[in-house]
């Protein structure tokens, strides 16, 4: 049975179905290694000591294994150095296979694609400016919209194509956009992909901000000291429920907001994120007490985790549902985080098990005690809230529902 739209909302939305997903992360390609890591509550972050000479604050990150790129280059020789393309194309292909044969019945003109990324192929820009070799494909992908266009061409998309870049909420906003395109009638299915790389650019950048945890992040830990970067790609297929069988997980609401406070630091009171959450709940006509689980942003920085704690207390009061962060497995995948972490939520529905918070040793006392340190069974999982926050005071929330 489909979730019912709220007739008293300004414009009752038609729920959109998640019809397929694919992912490439520090654990490799596919959702199976990701699920194993979620079950084990560990894995993914590694150190690359060879980077120590570059002066970064940390050489620990969620690096995608080189073995993936070795096989991906064989399949896409013209894109051998275009790592962002290789990651996103693989994730999209996985999502297509996962969606099933019905997808082939949707004509290209009725397919759309929305890409989420903060820096696209920033490595190509590094190479160009340093006078190092750079393929024409990688050079094109310095411009994020061209990366989106090439991915769309590979997926036989001739409908609307968008590229969203709003810091670390890019992924959730891209999913919102994909759903909007379907609800407006501009597409029947939309691939939503998110991709970002651990590059010299971002390692240097976050090092200048001194926001990296040298030994790996510990979200919501009493001793947390910073975030850990990650790279990867995630892709979901959004579709009209009537196309893909009408069963499964749906996107029933969303919301976004701006803190209007500071460019890099979250608001001290969490009110901006609380506003985004409230908007998502209102769009789905969902009461706070109906939420079964929250997958939070949980970067491991002192300020972000404190702000999120305030925000969820503000919305949920004394009845904070179980929540966790999985950045201790994957790192912070920046523009891809929203899509990859939404896939983590989809896996939670599938496995009927909530992920824990890897690398947590001792919960910060100011954090609600509903924080899950370890995975927890969830046989009746129905509504999941996914939230992310980003630079420039951005906040976004999605409500996922399995009727």
The residues binding other proteins (CB under 8 A) are: 9-11, 13, 118-119, 122, 125-126, 128-129, 139, 142-146, 148-149, 152, 160-167, 173, 177, 180, 184, 186, 201, 204-206, 208-210, 255-264, 272, 275, 279, 390-394
Sign of the torsion formed by the C-alpha atoms of 24, 30, 31 and 36: negative
| Closest approach of other proteins to the CB of residue 203, in Å | 10
| Closest approach of other proteins to the CB of residue 263, in Å | 5
**Pick 29 or 334: Cβ nearer other proteins:** 334
Are residues 31 and 351 in contact, defined by beta-carbon separation less than 8 angstroms? no
| Closest approach of other proteins to the CB of residue 161, in Å | 5
| Closest approach of other proteins to the CB of residue 254, in Å | 9
**Pick 11 or 50: Cβ nearer other proteins:** 11
**Pick 60 or 122: Cβ nearer other proteins:** 122
**Pick 140 or 402: Cβ nearer other proteins:** 140
| Closest approach of other proteins to the CB of residue 389, in Å | 12
| Closest approach of other proteins to the CB of residue 209, in Å | 5
| Closest approach of other proteins to the CB of residue 115, in Å | 8
Closest to 208 (Cα-Cα) out of 220, 200, 218:
200
**Pick 69 or 201: Cβ nearer other proteins:** 201
**Pick 4 or 42: Cβ nearer other proteins:** 4
**Pick 259 or 401: Cβ nearer other proteins:** 259
| Closest approach of other proteins to the CB of residue 96, in Å | 20
| Closest approach of other proteins to the CB of residue 165, in Å | 5
Matching residue, tokens 């294994």: 65
Could you give the CA distance from residue 276 to residue 280 in angstroms, rounded to a whole number? 6
Are residues 137 and 89 in contact, defined by beta-carbon separation less than 8 angstroms? no
242 backbone dihedrals φ, ψ, rounded to 5°: -65, -20
**Pick 71 or 208: Cβ nearer other proteins:** 208
Are residues 222 and 371 in contact, defined by beta-carbon separation less than 8 angstroms? no
End-to-end CA distance of the chain: 6
**Pick 144 or 331: Cβ nearer other proteins:** 144
**Pick 86 or 396: Cβ nearer other proteins:** 396
| Closest approach of other proteins to the CB of residue 257, in Å | 5
Could you give the CA distance from residue 343 to residue 37 in angstroms, rounded to a whole number? 14
**Pick 253 or 331: Cβ nearer other proteins:** 253
Could you give the CA distance from residue 29 to residue 91 in angstroms, rounded to a whole number? 8
Could you give the CA distance from residue 124 to residue 52 in angstroms, rounded to a whole number? 22
| Closest approach of other proteins to the CB of residue 226, in Å | 14
């Amino acid at each position: 049975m489909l979730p019912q739209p709220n007739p008293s909302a300004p414009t009752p939305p038609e729920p959109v179905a998640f019809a397929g997903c694919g992912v490439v992360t520090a654990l490799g390609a596919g959702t199976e290694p990701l699920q194993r890591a979620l079950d084990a509550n560990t894995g993914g972050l590694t150190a690359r000591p060879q980077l120590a000479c570059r002066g970064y604050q940390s050489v620990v990150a969620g690096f995608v294994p080189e073995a993936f790129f070795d096989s991906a280059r064989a399949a896409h020789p013209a894109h051998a150095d275009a790592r962002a393309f290789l990651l996103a194309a693989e994730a999209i292909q996985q999502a297509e296979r996962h969606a099933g044969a019905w997808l082939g019945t949707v004509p290209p003109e009725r397919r759309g694609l929305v890409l989420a990324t903060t820096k696209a192929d920033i490595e190509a820009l590094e190479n160009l400016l340093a006078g190092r070799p750079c393929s024409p494909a990688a050079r094109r992908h310095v411009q994020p919209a061209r990366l989106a266009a090439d991915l769309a061409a590979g997926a036989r998309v001739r409908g609307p194509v968008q590229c969203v870049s709003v810091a670390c909420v890019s992924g959730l906003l891209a999913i919102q956009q994909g759903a909007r395109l379907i609800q407006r009638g501009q597409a029947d299915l939309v691939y939503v992909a998110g991709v970002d790389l651990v590059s010299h650019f971002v390692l240097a950048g976050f090092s200048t901000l001194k926001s990296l945890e040298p030994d790996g992040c510990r979200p919501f830990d009493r001793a947390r000291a910073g975030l850990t970067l990650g790279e990867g790609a995630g892709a979901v297929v959004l579709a009209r429920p009537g196309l893909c069988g009408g069963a499964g997980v749906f996107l029933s609401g969303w919301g976004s907001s701006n803190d209007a406070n500071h460019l890099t630091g979250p608001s001290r009171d969490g009110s901006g994120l609380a506003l985004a959450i409230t908007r998502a709940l209102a769009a789905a006509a969902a009461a706070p007490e109906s939420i079964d689980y929250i997958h939070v942003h949980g970067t491991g920085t002192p300020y972000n985790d404190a702000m999120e704690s305030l925000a969820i207390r503000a919305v949920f009061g004394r009845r904070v549902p179980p929540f966790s962060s999985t950045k201790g497995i994957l790192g912070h995948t920046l523009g891809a985080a929203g899509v990859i972490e939404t896939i983590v939520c989809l896996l939670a529905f599938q496995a009927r098990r909530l992920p824990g918070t890897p690398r947590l040793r001792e919960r910060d006392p100011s954090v609600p005690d509903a924080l899950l340190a370890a995975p927890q069974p969830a046989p009746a999982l129905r509504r999941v809230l996914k939230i992310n926050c980003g630079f420039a005071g951005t906040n976004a929330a999605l409500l996922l529902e399995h009727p």
